[in-house]
Structure 1
Amino acid sequence: MVIELNEEQDAALRTIRSFLRDDALDAFILRGSAGTGKTTLIAALTAVLEEMELSFSLLAPTGRAARILGNKVRLIRGTVEGKGSTIHSRIFKPPKVEVNEEAESANDPGVRLVFPLSSEEAMEALFVIDEASMVGDRETPGDYVQFGSGRLLQDLVTYARIRRPGRGNDHRTKLLFVGDPAQLPPVGEDTSPALSEEYLQTKFGLRIATAELNSVVRQAAGSAILARATEIRDALRAKRFNTFTLKPFDAEVEKVDPERALDLIVESLRAKESTVAVVFSNAMALDYNRAVRDRLWGDADLPIQVGDTLLVNRNSRPYQLSNGDLVKVLSVRAECESVLVPMKGIAPVELRFREAEVAFRDVDGTVIRRECLLLENLLASPMRDISPAEQRALLVHFRMRYPQLKPHMPAFRLNIADDGYFNALQVKYGYAMTCHKAQGGEWHSGIVHFSLPGDGRNSSSFRWAYTAITRAVKRLVVVNPPDFTDDSDMKWNIPSIRTELDERKDFTADPDWNRLSFSSQLAALMTVHQQLRGAWQEQGITIEQLQHLQYCERYSLQREGKRAVVQYWYDGKFRVGRSGTAPGAFHDATLADEALAAFQRLSGGPNARQPEPFIQEFLSRLDAAMTGASIQRTGHEVMRNRLRVTFADATRRGAVDFIHNDASTWTAAQEVGGPGSSRGLYEEVQGLMAMAKA
Structure 2
Amino acid sequence: MRTPIIPILNDTVEINLEIQLTASQQHVLSMANQWIAVEDCSAFAITGAENSGKKTVVRHIAQVLAEHGKSLVYLSPNARIANKYKVFGFPDVQSIYSWLYASRPSKLEKDKACYDVSVTLPDVKREVLVFLDAHLLGDDKFETETTRYGSGFLFQDMISALQDNGQLLPKMLLVGDSFQLTRGRIQRSLLSGEVFREKNILFNAYSLSEQISSGELSDYQLQLVSALSNKSFVRLPEVGGNDITRVISGEQTDEIGRALVAWPKHTAFLCAQNMDAFKINRGIRARYLNTRNMHSLVVGDIVDIHNRTVGLQDDVIDTKWVNSGTFGRVISVASDIETKTVLLKGREAGTVLHFAVATIEFESMGIVTVRYIPEYLSAETPALSADQLIALNIIAREEATEKLQDQKYQLEIAKESLPEAEYKQLSYEYQKQLADHIMSSSYFNAARLRFAYAMTVHRAQGYSGWTQLYVDTSCCHDNANYSTDSYFRWLYTATCCSNQKIGLLKYPNLSPISNASWHCVPKKIGIIAVKQRLYLEPSNLVDELEQLPVGFDTSNSIYAKLYTTIQSLLVDSDWKIQDVIQGRSYQQVYELVAGDGEVVTVQFSYNGKGEITIQSVRSSADVFKETVLSLLSTKPHVQSSSLEEAIRELTNYLNQIGWQAVLIEEKSQYKAYVTLVGSRGYIKLD
Q: Same fold (TM over 0.5)?
A: yes
2:461 counterpart of 1:439: yes
Matches of 1:69 and 1:299, distance apart in 2: 37
Kindly state the Cα deviation for residue 427 of structure 1 after the two structures are TM-superposed.
Answer: 1.1
CA contact (8 A) 2:400 2:437 kept: no
Query: Counterpart amino acid of 2:341?
Result: L
2:65 counterpart of 1:59: no
Residue 343 of structure 2 is matched in structure 1 by: 342
Deviations 1:115-163 (A, max 9, x none): 333476334622211221122223356664333333333334444x424
SS in 2 for 1:300: coil
**Percent of residue pairs identical:** 21
Residue 619 of structure 1 is matched in structure 2 by: 647
Residue 112 of structure 1 is matched in structure 2 by: 112
Q: 2:191 aligns with which of 175, 191, 195?
A: 195
SS in 2 for 1:402: helix
Cα distance change, pair 320–230 in 1 and its aligned pair in 2 (3 A): farther
Matches of 1:609 and 1:201, distance apart in 2: 47
Structure 1 residues 227-306: aligned runs within 5 Å: 227-250=219-242, 252-257=244-249, 260-261=252-253, 263-267=255-259, 269-270=261-262, 272=264, 274-301=266-293, 303-306=296-299
Deviations 1:561-600 (A, max 9, x none): xxxxxxxxxxxxxxxxx99xxxxxxxxxxxxxxxxxxxx9
SS in 1 for 2:252: helix
Matches of 2:370 and 2:300, distance apart in 1: 16
2:47 counterpart of 1:31: yes
Kindly state the Cα deviation for residue 273 of structure 1 after the two structures are TM-superposed.
Answer: 5.3
Residue 134 of structure 2 is matched in structure 1 by: 132
2:663 counterpart of 1:634: yes
Cα distance change, pair 496–184 in 1 and its aligned pair in 2 (3 A): farther
Matches of 1:251 and 1:209, distance apart in 2: 36
**Greater Cα shift, 173-182 or 253-262:** 253-262
Residue 424 of structure 2 is matched in structure 1 by: none
CA contact (8 A) 1:343 1:396 kept: no
Cα distance change, pair 83–348 in 1 and its aligned pair in 2 (3 A): farther
SS in 1 for 2:375: coil
Query: Counterpart amino acid of 1:449?
Result: D
CA contact (8 A) 1:449 1:478 kept: yes
Matches of 2:64 and 2:334, distance apart in 1: 50
Q: 1:206 aligns with which of 198, 201, 216?
A: 201
Query: Counterpart amino acid of 2:205?
Result: T
Cα distance change, pair 83–244 in 1 and its aligned pair in 2 (3 A): same
Residue 84 of structure 1 is matched in structure 2 by: 93
Kindly state the Cα deviation for residue 190 of structure 1 after the two structures are TM-superposed.
Answer: 4.5
Query: Counterpart amino acid of 1:412?
Result: L
Kindly state the Cα deviation for residue 423 of structure 1 after the two structures are TM-superposed.
Answer: 1.7
Deviations 1:616-643 (A, max 9, x none): 2333445655599785432321425333
Residue 489 of structure 1 is matched in structure 2 by: 515
Matches of 1:89 and 1:476, distance apart in 2: 34
Deviations 1:326-360 (A, max 9, x none): 12223333333332333333332333333333333
Matches of 1:17 and 1:339, distance apart in 2: 62
Deviations 1:528-547 (A, max 9, x none): xxxxxxxxxxxxxxxxxxxx
Cα distance change, pair 609–196 in 1 and its aligned pair in 2 (3 A): farther
SS in 1 for 2:88: helix
Residue 670 of structure 1 is matched in structure 2 by: none
Structure 1 residues 165-176: aligned runs within 5 Å: 165=166, 170=168, 172-176=169-173
Residue 473 of structure 2 is matched in structure 1 by: 450
Kindly state the Cα deviation for residue 175 of structure 1 after the two structures are TM-superposed.
Answer: 1.7
Matches of 1:59 and 1:261, distance apart in 2: 40
Residue 423 of structure 2 is matched in structure 1 by: none
CA contact (8 A) 1:114 1:146 kept: yes
Q: Which runs of 5+ in 2 are unaligned?
A: 1-13, 311-318, 409-426, 525-584, 587-606, 613-635
Kindly state the Cα deviation for residue 98 of structure 1 after the two structures are TM-superposed.
Answer: 3.4
Residue 416 of structure 1 is matched in structure 2 by: 438
Kindly state the Cα deviation for residue 277 of structure 1 after the two structures are TM-superposed.
Answer: 1.0
Matches of 1:17 and 1:368, distance apart in 2: 44
* Aligned residues: CA RMSD: 3.5
CA contact (8 A) 1:226 1:470 kept: no
Aligned residues: 526
Query: Counterpart amino acid of 1:207?
Result: L
SS in 2 for 1:433: strand
Matches of 1:122 and 1:327, distance apart in 2: 36
Cα distance change, pair 98–200 in 1 and its aligned pair in 2 (3 A): closer
Matches of 1:289 and 1:337, distance apart in 2: 25
Matches of 2:201 and 2:637, distance apart in 1: 41
Matches of 2:382 and 2:285, distance apart in 1: 20
Cα distance change, pair 292–154 in 1 and its aligned pair in 2 (3 A): same
**Greater Cα shift, 304-313 or 86-95:** 86-95
Query: Counterpart amino acid of 1:334?
Result: S
SS in 2 for 1:235: helix
SS in 2 for 1:344: coil
Residue 618 of structure 2 is matched in structure 1 by: none
CA contact (8 A) 1:278 1:468 kept: yes
Length-normalised TM-score, structure 2: 0.69
Larger Rg: 2
CA contact (8 A) 2:309 2:442 kept: no
Query: Counterpart amino acid of 2:459?
Result: K
Q: 1:478 aligns with which of 499, 504, 516?
A: 504
Deviations 1:396-419 (A, max 9, x none): 112222334699811112212322
Structure 1 residues 365-384: aligned runs within 5 Å: 368-384=366-382
Query: Counterpart amino acid of 2:438?
Result: I
CA contact (8 A) 1:273 1:444 kept: no
Q: 1:98 aligns with which of 100, 108, 123?
A: 108
Query: Counterpart amino acid of 2:93?
Result: G
CA contact (8 A) 2:113 2:147 kept: yes
Residue 354 of structure 2 is matched in structure 1 by: 352
